Amino acid sequence: MTTSTTAPQLVPASDSVIDTIKITTIIFDMDGVLADSEPRWNDIDRELLGAYGIDYAGEHKHHVLGKSFDLSMQFYKQTYDLPHEIDDMNTRRQHIAADYYANHIAPFEDAPRVLQALKELGFRIGLATSSRRNLAESFLSRHELTLFFDTVVTGEDVQNGKPHPDIYLRAAELLGSAPNHCLVVEDSLAGVEAGKSAGMSVAAIPDAQFVNAQDYIGRADWVLSRLGEVVELAARLRL
């Protein structure tokens, strides 16, 4: 994730849009937003597919970025014509990922400061991640981030994963927040689509290593260059 001293970019740039959006709640994605995990998912899926005789180098990352385990495994199964059951592939992927989240994946440097600042501003904070619950809880606990969150919703808690809106609607319900008072923070286009479909405002932090930031223009309400800009944006939108 790149660093920048520029202010959050409103897309389209208009103070009148800010005047109509009032936020009480921030809902974060985890991977690629709080957790510096996206490069590791190439390693996880390389190990997964290697077990099935596939030499994988991350060439399909943009097809699975931000999507649920089920949708990701369906993609790999179809792409490589694998005979294995989706449930078996999910179980293997979760086992591999568990080691990474327990031992290797770190938060972005700004994450603790941003979460603390948002708490001090009085926002309710949720996590809505396509990852499995054990992975999310392991990451949050290991880095002492658990207490910042008023609720955690994972891909296991909803029927339809991102890009469907279910996970964000469920998080808002548990937080007692109306969707139009929620700001979603995402890094993937699937997550952006999920947040917008839920009727929420969306700030995107695309990672130039994996995606083209220009693809987010017109899809997310704001395109940010780093996590730290979320605090400034949220303060401007606070109800």
* Mean pLDDT for all residues in the chain: 90
When pLDDT is averaged across residues 107-131 and rounded to a whole number, the result is: 97
When pLDDT is averaged across residues 65-94 and rounded to a whole number, the result is: 93
Least confident of 16-20, 36-40, 210-214: 16-20
- Please give the CATH topology (third level) of the domain spanning 9-37+106-237: Rossmann fold (3.40.50)
When pLDDT is averaged across residues 154-173 and rounded to a whole number, the result is: 95
User: Model-level pTM?
Assistant: 0.85
CB contact at 8 A, 147 and 73:
no
pLDDT at 3 over 70: no
CA 132 to the chain's CA centroid: 13
Q: How many CB atoms lie within 10 A of CB 16?
A: 6
pLDDT of residue 66: 79
CA torsion 166-171-176-179 (nearest 10°) is -50
* Residue extents of the structural domains in the chain: 9-37+106-237, 38-103
pLDDT of residue 26: 98
DSSP class of residue 24?
S
14: pLDDT confidence band, cut at 50, 70 and 90? very low
